[in-house]
Amino acid sequence: MKRSGNLIVILSDEHTASALGCAAADVNVLTPNLDALAARGVRFTGAYTPTPICVPARAAFATGRYAHQNRLWDNAMPYRGDPEGWGHALQRKGVRVESIGKLHYRDDDDPTGFDVQHIPMHVAGGHGMVWGSIRREDERVTKSERMLGDYIGPGESPYTRYDAAVVARTKLWLEETAADGDQRPWCLYVGLVAPHFPLIVPQEYLDLYPADSLPPIKLHPRDGYEQHPWIAKLNATFGGDEAMKDEDERQMARRVYYALCTWLDHNIGQIVAALDATGFGDDTTLIYSSDHGDNVGARGLWGKANMYQESVSIPLLVVPPAAEGAVCGTPVSLLDVSETILDHFDATLAGERPGASLYDIAAQPDDPDRIVFSEYHAVGAVSGCFMVRKGGWKLVHYHGFRPEMFDLTTDPQEIVNRAEDPACAEKLAEMYEALRSICDPVAVDAQAFADQHALIESYGGREAGLAIGSATATLPPKTGA
């Protein structure tokens, strides 16, 4: 794959991999701009988040390290610039590196590797969701309010207005950069929020997904599906699917989610048009991905925080100026995007990191031996959850609970758990060997709980921690939009 000139990295929030038109999934998601990018770049069909929740996923992306390497486990442990990440390496290389939009770090005063942060969104109050760090089963709290918000339907939210402001600022940045005469190569990170809840979208986008246009919900509990015990405990943390007012609202939530994906696509289209209008299109590589996915009602789940494909898989496109239109099925993750940014500018970063450049991975489009890993130690989890993907197989290990294992080649919807199938005993042992090649789940689980306990103690204990910032979402900054 050709490396070329400048680099723009666009990261959305909560965009599941199947919600792309070019993914040809059960839902016909209208993403013409992303589809056009895929047609002239490389689409990675086996891409995953390193942890399916916002703040630690973004810290892992910043550093190129797993969450257990960073020891930034949840939404109350934002990135502060230590350990150093790809931004610091680019700065040392003399590359102009700036950000526009959502980062979800601690605040804009920390040295996180950007020359300038334009209208950044960071965790609320610099501390994030502290109550979510209290997760031992005999101590944790549950929230009666609905994670998705009180209202679901057409309209505007602070998040849609913020995305519009981010796009406007990106267009202005490109115009200013084209005019300022600075010949240094640049890397621009753009953080968009959609399709993250609240599930509110402008009417014109909702109209693209009429009522009764979506297929039935996959594996809904009302149809007899039984949630895994670990998942059921996690799901009880918030008012989720059972908090839907009725079936009409449940279907409205699904329609709005996919409409927000089309709203996101519209915004990306504007950025691509601005690249071309300012003359950067012929010498800029574009990378698009998301921090994690969304369950969108499957298995009676909304939001993220688990290892099913809807939650843990993400879209990933690498689009050099030269047309390619390739598809790569080798398992990859956001940590590989981090390495690709370094590789693009021939920058170096000290420390052990598990990723590899997507430029190199694309040269071997179906590597059956590559292992990708994800983990979850955040709000609602009564123990750690670990995932390994190798070839067509995926293992989900729930510490203290029975595992799940899926053959994604024959069962891409993850309908049949093969972990207890005697015919798959050898494969199960192989997948556990892959997991233990990355970490000791017992030790990592203990370390996460110890670090979270120390955090709560630093705030004065459980009751004091519960009183700090109980918001479930981060409000955008004032942008003037």
pLDDT band at 48 (very low <50, low <70, confident <90, very high): very high
Selection from 472, 33, 88 nearest residue 286 by Cα: 33
Q: What is the pLDDT of residue 223?
A: 93
Q: How far is CA 24 from CA 15, 19, 295, 311, in A?
A: 15, 9, 18, 18
Summarize the confidence of residues 411-415 as an average pLDDT: 97
Give the C-alpha separation, 380 to 59, whole Å: 20
Give the C-alpha separation, 346 to 466, whole Å: 45
Q: What is the pLDDT of residue 481?
A: 47
pTM of the model: 0.97
Summarize the confidence of residues 385-411 as an average pLDDT: 98
pLDDT digits (tens, 9 = 90+) for 358-382: 999 998 888 989 999 999 999 999 9
In percent, how much of the chain has pLDDT > 90?
86
Per-position b or e across 381-412, b if 16+ CB within 10 A of its CB: bbbbbbbbbbbbbbbbbbbebebbbbbbeeee
Encoding tokens for residue 105?
């770090």
Reply yes or no on whether the pLDDT at 239 is more than 90. Answer: no
Summarize the confidence of residues 80-103 as an average pLDDT: 97
Q: How far is CA 11 from CA 52, 166, 193, 344, 463, in A?
A: 14, 12, 8, 17, 36
Encoding tokens for residue 244?
């839907």
Give the C-alpha separation, 122 to 129, whole Å: 12
Selection from 241, 102, 79 nearest residue 158 by Cα: 102
pLDDT band at 356 (very low <50, low <70, confident <90, very high): very high
pLDDT digits (tens, 9 = 90+) for 281-340: 999 999 999 999 999 999 999 999 999 999 999 999 999 987 778 999 999 999 999 999
Residue pointed to by tokens 């190129």: 64
Summarize the confidence of residues 132-141 as an average pLDDT: 90
Q: What is the pLDDT of residue 308?
A: 98
Summarize the confidence of residues 342-352 as an average pLDDT: 96
Summarize the confidence of residues 382-410 as an average pLDDT: 98
Domains in the chain, please, with CATH? 6-365 (3.40.720.10)
Summarize the confidence of residues 396-406 as an average pLDDT: 98
Q: What is the pLDDT of residue 473?
A: 54
pLDDT digits (tens, 9 = 90+) for 155-201: 999 999 999 999 999 999 999 999 998 888 999 999 999 999 999 99
Q: What is the pLDDT of residue 374?
A: 98
pLDDT band at 480 (very low <50, low <70, confident <90, very high): low
How confident is the prediction for the chain on average, in pLDDT?
Answer: 94
